[in-house]
Amino acid sequence: MNKRKVEISPSVLGADLMRLGEEIKLVEKLGITWLHLDHMDGHFVPNISFGPDFVSAMRKQTKLFLDVHLMLSNPMKYIRAYAKAGADLITVHIEAEDDAREMLEEIAAHGIKAGISIKPGTDPEAIRDLLPLCDLVLVMTVEPGFGGQSLREDCLKKIPVLAEMIRETGREIIIEVDGGIKQENAHLAIEAGADMLVMGTGLFRAKDPAAVVKGVRRAAEGK
Ligand code: DX5
Ligand code: ZN
């Protein structure tokens, strides 16, 4: 099997928020280059988390690639603030109320990367026409809103379907999975074709985070 490049985007939602500075240093020490920041509005999902100020605080602390996941009903009015705060990539949901095409164009207008996400109940076909505007597709493998849930393996079936759609566009688009990914099941997402694994509790609450990273790298090598 060919060696694949698979990376981890650690979700800060799973970190110890009282020790955030140390948690970020740990991510850097593990050789990880991304950080996943989940933003929730209490409307699109039944939970509330961070806002743009949190992104600017992160931006001052680290050079990690800030992968911002917006679980908001109306992301449009906040995209500018997140871009100015220092997001490197903003992902919005196709299920949000705002027009997906307009959101993706607005993100790109700020000179940063754009992602589209689908919830477990959404067919990949819903985003086919948007792929030319995307740098990343985020496949939710839990209902968005909370960290620490169990992986829904059925959602992984969407990955090969999306990979084929992406191939047809001729574009380089990252396939990211989010929700319930742990050291034990990371190989399932990798075998399905994921390039980027969001890991919250699976990394930050692990006894040995370095072993988790090693496990993912080995799985990517097909060992
Ligand atoms: C859930 C968030 C996830 C969450 C993942 O709605 O989008 O990014 O933090 O957490 P784990 O990896 O613990 O399932
Ligand atoms: Zn997320």
- Mean confidence (pLDDT) of the chain: 97
Question: Would you call 135 a catalytic residue per the annotation?
Answer: no
Q: Which residue puts its alpha carbon closest to atom 10 of ligand 1?
A: 147
Q: Which amino acid is at 116?
A: I
Residue 1 has pLDDT above 60, yes or no: no
Residue 2 has pLDDT above 70, yes or no: no
In short, whether 119's Cβ falls inside 6 Å of ligand 1 is no
pLDDT (tens digit per residue) in 82-101:
999 999 999 999 999 999 99
Q: Are 52 and 82 in contact (CB under 8 A)?
A: yes
Of all ligands present, the nearest one to the C-alpha of 11 is: 1
- What lies within 8 Å, CB to CB, of 120 at 6+ separation is 140, 141, 142, 143, 152, 154, 155
Pocket test for ligand 1, best of 16, 38, 196 (most atoms within 8 A of CB): 38
pLDDT (tens digit per residue) in 168-212:
999 999 999 999 999 999 999 999 999 999 999 999 999 999 999
Active-site residue (options: 154, 178, 195, 208): 178
Cα-flanking dihedrals φ and ψ of residue 191, to 5°? -65, -35
pLDDT (tens digit per residue) in 29-51:
999 999 999 999 999 999 999 99
Cα–ligand 2 centroid distance for 41 (angstroms): 13
Which pLDDT value is given to residue 168?
Answer: 97
The structure tokens 């164009």 sit at 105
